[in-house]
Structure 1
Amino acid sequence: MSLHPPGNAQYELSLTRVIDAPRSKVFRAWTEPDLLAQWWGPNGMTTPLCEMQLWVGGLFRTVMQAPDGTEYPNQGVFLDIVPPERIVFTDAFGPGWVPSNKAFMTVVVTFEEHQGKTKYTARALHWNAADCLAHEEMGFHRGWGESLDRLVALVTTQMPG
């Protein structure tokens, strides 16, 4: 079974970019809480809390903070982790597979070898058209794009080999 069906999922938003860094390094930036906290969130946001239990069913929790102090908590679980190829997580469940109050999306992040670089793809898969549209209107492409810019800066200039 492939995690990449032909074309996009029905309610999908995605970003793809080739990053001039090995995928092991980009994967580390996604899976080490102290590294993820340095780039997670759009410009102007910080991530004062990042907690990861890197196993299937393990907790993935972040709190992003806006310049005005407003906090944006997110919590879910990892569904799949294949170093350094793929990370899948969802907010549909919490630890212990307890259903969340409202499932919003499942995220599939892939790190493909591409001529010594990393072809990075982040796919946000939503349960319905309304959630997909809401996420797009929240600024998915701008926000996730700015996060990706920060991730690229981290892995290409700030992170040791």
Structure 2
Amino acid sequence: MTEDLTLTITRQINASPQTVWRCLTEPELLVQWFAPKPVEITEVEVDPTPGGIFHIVMKVPEYGEMRGPSGCVLLAESPTRMVWTAALGPGFAPNPPHTNPDDFYMTADMRLEARDGGCFYTATALHATPQAVVAHEKMGFYDGWGTTAGQLAELAEHYQDSP
């Protein structure tokens, strides 16, 4: 039996997959929902093409800036799926190993499915080891990613059908 190395959240959003895709791939929209408030995103760069960059910098109250290496988009199928990883940088170049043993790389798989007049959003974090899964859960995966899914829904519903 293979051990499950994933963490997943889902959300039904009252907006089209095209609108949710915009919120996922347009930096000026992504910055508004991708971190659970009061965390702020201070920098964002997204190129939703295979080999493109996925990079964010977060400012966490009472912690400071979280700046990791740029990630790499592995798959971009507008408006249904985007997969990116922190293990690789832009152009599929490997990122250097972490120097902190508590850090881990992960791959994010964001799926958007037209359902019930809106978008069924599934966000999955894939990890290399059971220890990374536990560490991500302890960091507050379900609260954090659940909060951001709610922020995404609110933003997408606001931008629904806008150009």
TM-score by length of 1: 0.89
Q: Is the CA contact (8 Å cut-off) linking 2:86 and 2:106 kept in structure 1?
A: yes
1:29-74 superposed Cα distances (whole Å, 9 cap, x missing partner) = 0000110001111120111100112211111100011234711124
Q: Does 1:121 align with 2:150?
A: no
Contact 1:109 1:120 in 2 (8 A): yes
**Matches of 2:7 and 2:152, distance apart in 1:** 19
SS of 1:44's partner is coil
Q: How much does 1:125 deviate?
A: 0.5
Instruction: Say yes or no: does 1:95 pair with 2:96.
Output: no
Distance in 1 (alpha carbons) for counterparts of 2:3 and 2:108: 12
Q: Secondary structure at the match of 1:28?
A: helix
Which residue matches 2:145? 144
Partner residue of 1:153?
154
Matches within 5 A, 1:53-132: 53-68=47-62, 70-74=64-68, 75-102=70-97, 104-132=105-133
Alpha-carbon offset, residue 97 of structure 1: 2.2
Equivalenced residue count is 154
What's the offset of the Cα at 1:132?
0.7
Q: Deviations over 1:97-129 (max 9, x none)?
A: 221124611111000010211010000000010
Compute the displacement of 1:158 (Å): 5.2
* Distance change in 2, residues 1:46/1:160 (3 Å): farther
- Whether 1:52 aligns to 2:46 is yes
Runs of 4+ in 1 over 6 A off after TM superposition: none
The residue identity in structure 1 corresponding to 2:138 is E
How far apart, in 1, do the equivalents of 2:91 and 2:112 lie? 28
d(CA) in 2 for partners of 1:18 and 1:9?
28
Ranges in structure 2 where 5+ consecutive residues have no aligned partner? 98-103
Q: Equivalent pairs: percent with the same residue? A: 36
Return the alpha-carbon distance in structure 2 between the equivalents of residues 17 and 147 of structure 1: 10
2-structure distance, mates of 1:59, 1:36: 14
